[in-house]
């Protein structure tokens, strides 16, 4: 449908004709300097249901933008020095080479590289390099609950929030879904302490002292009550837990494997060229 509308517009402007052997020639739409824009170079622009006048205006706008760009390029080509243009040509050639290499490398990675990373490989890397995984911030496993200041059953919710019982936690979750404005349980996930503190309306002072002294913390403002439960913590300058750095280790292993694969690929191509004499040094 799009092509039909555009074609009708172009035919109206330029009246196509058949060439030799009955084949339809390329239809020229516009010319800017020595550059010609052909109908088949115009991308699909027309949306289903557009008015004919809007369709024509859309194509005309595209042609005008193309013309402005080409005329500007022509002016630049006429006024830039030979050295500048040679430098641009060199950059283009280098970019083209880099793109060819990059696309070939990605193709080979997808086809040939082993991308599976197993749990024991990650854990072994962590054990070998444990001293490298030093925390730069305090992290916690915690739960934050935000309740309306007038919440019903507050005493029950507060009691449940202090409990480690799985049954109590399930009851707490049900009550929080009913009453809480926020219920975020990070009990199985390490998060930065600074992220948790964004949920608390008051300054807690030194984070290290706070987490050492408060397995459970309660505070409030004029509208809400905040209940914070800290199940575990690690302080900055200590070794990061395995779970906290596991994803980073996996990325590191993959990147190292990728670099080694690409080095091997490059060396293989180079050595093959030496053997078949497609590379010679004079």
Reported as a single tens digit per residue, the pLDDT across 117-151 is 999 999 999 999 999 999 999 999 999 999 998 88
Q: Are 174 and 215 members of one domain? A: yes
pLDDT of amino acid 1 = 44
Q: Is residue 84 part of a domain?
A: no
Q: How confident is the model at residue 20 (pLDDT cuts 50, 70, 90)?
A: very low
Please compute the mean of the pLDDT values over residues 206-228 and round it to a whole number: 92
Least confident of 47-56, 100-109, 135-144, 162-171: 47-56
Q: What is the pLDDT of residues 175-190, one digit of tens each?
A: 999 988 889 988 789 9
CA gap 267, 269 in Å, rounded: 5
Q: In this structure, are 207 and 257 located in the same domain?
A: no
Residues 157, 124 share a domain: no
Q: Are residues 157 and 177 in the same domain?
A: yes
Query: Structural domain of residue 271, as residue ranges?
Result: 98-131+242-282
Let me know: does 189 contact 241? Beta carbons within 8 Å.
no
Q: Are 215 and 271 within one domain?
A: no
Query: Which residue has 């010609």 as its token pair?
Result: 36
In-domain check, residue 91: no
Distances (CA, A) of 90 to 65, 75, 93, 94, 97: 27, 20, 5, 6, 11
Distance of alpha carbon 262 from alpha carbon 254, whole angstroms = 12
Q: Is the pLDDT of residue 19 over 80?
A: no
Predicted confidence at residue 281, as pLDDT, reads: 80
Q: Let me know whether 152 and 197 are in one domain.
A: yes
């Amino acid at each position: 449908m799009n092509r039909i509308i555009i074609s009708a517009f172009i035919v109206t402007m330029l009246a196509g004709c058949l060439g030799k052997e009955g084949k339809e020639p390329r239809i020229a739409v516009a010319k800017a300097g020595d550059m010609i824009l052909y109908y088949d170079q115009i991308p699909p622009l027309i949306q289903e249901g557009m008015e004919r006048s809007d369709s024509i205006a859309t194509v005309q706008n595209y042609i005008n933008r193309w013309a402005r760009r080409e005329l500007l390029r022509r002016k630049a080509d006429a006024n830039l020095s030979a050295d500048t243009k040679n430098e641009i040509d060199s950059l283009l050639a280098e970019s083209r080479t880099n793109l060819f290499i990059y696309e070939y490398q990605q193709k080979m990675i997808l086809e040939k590289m082993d991308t599976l990373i197993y749990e024991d490989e990650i854990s072994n890397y962590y054990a070998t390099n444990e001293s490298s995984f030093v925390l730069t911030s305090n992290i916690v496993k915690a739960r934050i609950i935000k309740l309306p200041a007038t919440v019903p059953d507050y005493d029950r919710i507060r009691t449940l929030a202090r409990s480690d019982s799985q049954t109590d936690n399930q009851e707490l979750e049900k009550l929080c879904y009913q009453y809480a404005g926020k219920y975020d349980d990070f009990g199985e996930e390490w998060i930065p302490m600074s992220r948790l503190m964004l949920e608390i309306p008051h300054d807690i002072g030194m984070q290290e002292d706070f987490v050492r002294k408060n397995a459970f913390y309660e505070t409030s403002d004029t509208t809400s009550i905040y209940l914070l439960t800290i199940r575990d913590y690690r302080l900055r300058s200590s070794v990061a837990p395995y779970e906290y750095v596991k994803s980073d280790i996996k990325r590191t292993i993959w990147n190292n494997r990728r670099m080694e694969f690409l080095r091997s690929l490059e060396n293989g191509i180079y050595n093959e060229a030496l053997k078949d004499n497609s590379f010679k040094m004079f």
